[in-house]
């Protein structure tokens, strides 16, 4: 097995890489040239599958992935105007995520790479999110390259990373309980706004006053770079209860609650990010993950950056939420460095960033162990 891993298949100078992502409730496939040029991006969500349950049901997610994985990949190839002969490598999310969901993309990608004898590599989902900021192009500015500070705000993670000049992310701080996206989803449920929660809360907040309801600013008195969102969610629950429950809320109060919650999340993310930027003396902050699609956060962070002297870089909206462009991009970076995985690659539900427990080092030791650390980076 070690042989296929250490073999460095030659890649063309501008490789065309197929990326596949299925870590949660989106099945996505994308085709990327040269690690940056998006030739196609197909994303199939599952809102209708999970909406009746108010949240993602893992078993239903994986079953739906099985149903659509071929179609989504074909759609991406069609959009790119390419057939499989044009693909030089395959990248797939190996973790973290729902294991059943991951396995669908993983098995499909393995079969494809095996049958076409293509170089194949597993990608860390959060590294993918960070690399999305490097793919997105702001007109008139050079593309983002390490070093920078990365803030990942998604449904499962809220964390700050130092992305070193070699591209390796190191954890600076993370949530002690709920992720910011998770808090959006839970508050959406509390307010009776349905699923998926983030965009619903955001839409509802547009008509509200962010100063109407006094909610706590999570961790505002604590030092360091950690986050916490479960207390804020509980505070919203108590405010709703005090008003007689979600059914009794008038539209105005619902909008005020949504706006006040959104402002509290945004403020706490901005405060932590500013603290990290000062501590790191960094001038570039990449804000990535589903919550980075939040307009208020985008505006607040840009303003803080202008005040503090750093640039806040957000991926394009459709590259904030889960997509396969980011996986193809992170995969291209790995493939270019000669990193390959063999077909024993497994799915992992939890993986610290910077580690790839699915990849063994050249001497057979576990990558990421103290004995055999190997970079798994952007």
Q: How far is the CB of 19 from Zn ion (least distance, A)?
A: 13
Beta strands in 282-363 (DSSP E): 284-288, 311-313
Tokens of 105: 């993309």
Do 18 and 91 form a contact (C-beta atoms < 8 A)? yes
Is 44 an interacting residue with respect to Zn ion (CB under 5 A)? no
Taking alpha carbons only, the member of 27, 24, 23 closest to residue 72 is 27
314-333 residues near ligand KG4, rule: CB under 6 A: 321-322
**By CB under 6 A, what part of segment 199-218 binds ligand KG4?**
199, 202
Q: Which is nearer to ligand KG4, 155 or 331 (CB)?
A: 155
Residues 6+ apart with CB under 8 A from 106: 22, 92, 93, 94, 122, 345, 346, 347
Q: How many residues does the chain have?
A: 378
| Shortest reach from residue 288's CB to Zn ion, in Å | 9
Instruction: By CB under 6 A, name the one of 108, 184, 229, 348 that touches ligand KG4.
Output: 184
- Residue closer to Zn ion, measured from CB, 215 or 326: 326
How far apart, in whole angstroms, are the C-alpha atoms of residue 55 and residue 299? Answer: 28
Q: Is 181 in the site for ligand KG4 (CB under 6 A)?
A: yes
Using CB under 6 A as the binding rule, whether residue 187 contacts ligand KG4 is answered as no
| Rounded-to-integer distance, Cα 25 and Cα 275, Å | 33
321 binds, among ligand KG4, Zn ion, none (CB under 5 to 8 A by kind): ligand KG4
**90 bridge partner residues:** 18, 120
Cβ(24)–Cβ(64) under 8 Å? Answer: no
Interface residue with ligand KG4 among 197, 218, 305, 315 (CB under 6 A) is 197
Residue 289 as a binder of ligand KG4 (CB under 6 A): the answer is yes
Q: Does 192 bind ligand KG4 (CB under 6 A)?
A: no
Nearer to ligand KG4, 122 or 181 (CB): 181
Contact stretch for ligand KG4 (CB under 6 A) within 65-73, 78-86, 215-223, 291-299: 291-299
Question: DSSP assignment, residue 129?
Answer: H
């Amino acid at each position: 097995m070690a042989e296929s891993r250490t073999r460095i298949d030659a890649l063309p100078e501008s490789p065309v890489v197929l990326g596949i992502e299925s870590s949660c409730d989106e099945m996505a496939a994308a085709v990327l040239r040269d690690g940056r040029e998006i030739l196609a991006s197909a994303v199939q969500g599952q809102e209708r599958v999970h909406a009746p349950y108010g949240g993602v049901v893992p078993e239903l997610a994986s079953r739906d992935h099985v149903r659509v994985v071929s179609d989504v990949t074909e759609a991406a190839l069609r959009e790119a105007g390419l057939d499989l002969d044009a693909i030089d490598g395959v990248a797939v999310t190996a973790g973290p995520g729902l294991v059943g969901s991951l396995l669908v993309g993983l098995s499909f990608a393995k079969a494809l790479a095996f049958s076409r004898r293509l170089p194949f590599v597993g990608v860390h989902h959060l590294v993918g999110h960070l690399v999305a900021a490097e793919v997105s192009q702001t007109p008139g500015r050079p593309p983002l390259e390490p070093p920078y500070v990365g803030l990942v705000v998604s449904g499962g993670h809220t964390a700050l990373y130092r992305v070193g000049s070699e591209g390796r992310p190191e954890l600076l701080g993370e949530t002690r309980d709920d992720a910011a996206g998770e808090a959006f989803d839970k508050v959406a449920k509390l307010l009776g706004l349905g699923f998926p929660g983030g965009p619903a809360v955001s839409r509802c907040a547009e008509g509200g006053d962010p100063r109407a309801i006094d909610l706590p600013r999570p961790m505002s008195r604590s030092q360091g770079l950690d986050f916490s969102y479960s207390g804020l969610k509980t505070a919203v629950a108590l405010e709703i209860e005090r008003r007689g429950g979600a059914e009794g809320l008038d539209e105005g109060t619902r909008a005020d609650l949504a706006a006040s919650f959104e402002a509290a999340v945004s403020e706490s993310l901005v405060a932590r990010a500013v603290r990290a930027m000062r501590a790191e003396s960094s001038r570039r902050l990449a804000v990535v993950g589903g919550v980075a699609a939040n307009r208020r956060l985008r505006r607040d962070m840009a303003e803080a950056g202008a005040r503090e002297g750093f640039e806040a870089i957000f991926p394009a909206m459709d590259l904030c939420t889960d997509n396969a462009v980011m996986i193809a991009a992170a995969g291209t970076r790995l493939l270019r460095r000669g990193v390959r995985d063999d077909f024993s690659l497994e799915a992992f539900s939890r993986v610290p960033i910077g580690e790839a427990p699915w990849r063994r080092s050249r001497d057979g030791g576990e990558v990421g162990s103290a004995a055999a650390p190997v970079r798994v980076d952007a």
